[in-house]
Structure 1
Amino acid sequence: MNARGLWSAVLAAALGWSAAPGAAAQVPPLAAEVLAYEGLHRAAWHGDLPKLKSLIASGASLDARDTRGRTPLQVATYARQRDAVKLLVKAGANIDLLEDDRYDAVTIAAVADDAATLALLLQLGAKPGQTTSRYDGTALIAAAHLGHDEVVRRLVAAGAPLDHVNNLHWTAVIESIVLGDGGPRHQRTLAALIAGGANLQLADRQGLTPLQLAKARGYTAMVKQLEAARAK
């Protein structure tokens, strides 16, 4: 691992994140939790639509919580059970609730690089720009950090806030650089943010701009993208 890679790994570990693009930033239901699921949570995880319909008809609480505060809809999102997601929302489940780690369904799908489930959630009316996670971030920031370029494009198109600053004083643009690997997916992520009109002059807590941060990491392709967009 080179110096840049080591720096990213140390920083990500300190933040409780994975340094590897595409890795999960939140904790999906563990096997033991899934085995303990009952009712709507169990049916949602397995995509058991007949059971979901039966439970909904009997008056089961649509927004019940598991031991980590996850709703059946969030569990269905983790499991990529899109028909279950649709059924729960149509029945009246709250699509925008946060679980105990302050993730909503949109952020869960974004972190999982699950563009199809994200598209469904947005179509069903989910908010694209809620403040989520312990870092007061957004789904867009999380996706930019991980280099989930298609997810980023969908969130930008849905009107997610491009210039939200989290409590680390980082924007989606900055995270695509400082927590990225400078590779093709992070380059496409940065391109989507630039095309969407993200502010390229917003600096980090040390006053460093995205261009300066990209230069410091030797991310030549990203430097060229930023310079072409007249970043300073």
Structure 2
Amino acid sequence: MAAAAQGSADKAWMSEQLLQASRAGDVQAVRKLLAKDAPVNAQDAQGNTPLLLATAGNHIEVARSLILHGADVNIQNAQQDSAYLLAGARGNLEILRMTLSRGADLKSTNRYGGTALIPACERGHVATAKTLMDAGVNVNHVNRLGWTCLLEAILLSDGGAPHQQIVRDVIAAGADVNLADKDGVTPLAHARQRKQQAMVEILTAAGAR
């Protein structure tokens, strides 16, 4: 009984150490703890795993070590972020690619009901958004706000070069350029309202009305 209690205490201690080391980006400490069989999918009070904490800090080598040791890329915390979803939203491209290679759930959604692609487009992460599109994330997914990735790239941007490229890529990936928001306002109408002339031209050329 005492041995079992001690084993449980040791596991809890290693879990806490692994969480702390992952948050700090201490790859040597992470590798030592994993070698001692620390629980790779341990979770803190907010539901964060070591991999989620490493992703938040863009600690690439820590994330690699955790993933190679079997970390689950789809576990979601209390805010409904997973390592995969967070990497997409933050534009942490190397970690995102690792999660995609280890079974990232492309249909999983964040607390806004959006895929990883939607915040990647909103924030102007061109390479990240393209990687997600190439992986097969649905470009016409609508989140709880009633917005697609195309709408967010217009509504929540300044219409500059990165977002223009994202809009071109989204259209090339099969986005419905006339899919309106929940108020019936189309991407083209939003671009015109915001005086985003380059966006207007891109959308018009793609058949937007």
TM-score (norm 2): 0.86
**Which residue of structure 2 aligns with residue 91 of structure 1?**
69
Q: Residue 147 of structure 1: SS of its match in structure 2?
A: coil
The letter for the 2-side match of 1:183 is G
The CA deviation string for residues 178-210 of structure 1, in whole angstroms up to 9 with x for no partner, is 111111111111111011111112111111111
Query: In structure 2, which of residues 120, 126, 130 is the aligned counterpart of residue 153 of structure 1?
Result: 130
Gaps of 5+ in 2: 1-14
Shift of 1:142: 0.7
| Alpha-carbon distance in 1 for matches of 2:193, 2:72 | 44
| Alpha-carbon distance in 2 for matches of 1:152, 1:54 | 34
RMSD value over aligned CA atoms?
1.7
| Alpha-carbon distance in 2 for matches of 1:231, 1:148 | 24
Gaps of 5+ in 1: 1-36
Shift of 1:102: 0.7
TM-score (norm 1): 0.78
The CA deviation string for residues 11-66 of structure 1, in whole angstroms up to 9 with x for no partner, is xxxxxxxxxxxxxxxxxxxxxxxxxx941112222333343233224332222122
| Alpha-carbon distance in 1 for matches of 2:71, 2:84 | 14
**Which residue of structure 2 aligns with residue 79 of structure 1?**
57
Stretch deviating more after TM superposition (37-46 or 156-165)? 37-46
> Are 1:53 and 2:31 matched, yes or no?
yes
The letter for the 2-side match of 1:99 is N
Which structure's relative contact order is higher, taking Cα pairs within 8 Å and 6+ residues apart? Answer: 1
Contact 1:156/1:162, CA 8 A, preserved across alignment: yes
Q: Aligned runs of 1:1-20 on 2, under 5 Å?
A: none
Shift of 1:70: 0.9
Query: In structure 1, which of residues 206, 222, 232 is the aligned counterpart of residue 183 of structure 2?
Result: 206
The CA deviation string for residues 61-87 of structure 1, in whole angstroms up to 9 with x for no partner, is 222122322100011111222222122
Contact 2:117/2:129, CA 8 A, preserved across alignment: yes
Report percent identity of matched pairs. 37
Q: Aligned runs of 1:1-232 on 2, under 5 Å?
A: 38-133=16-111, 135-232=112-209
Structure 1 runs, 4 residues or longer, greater than 6 Å off: none
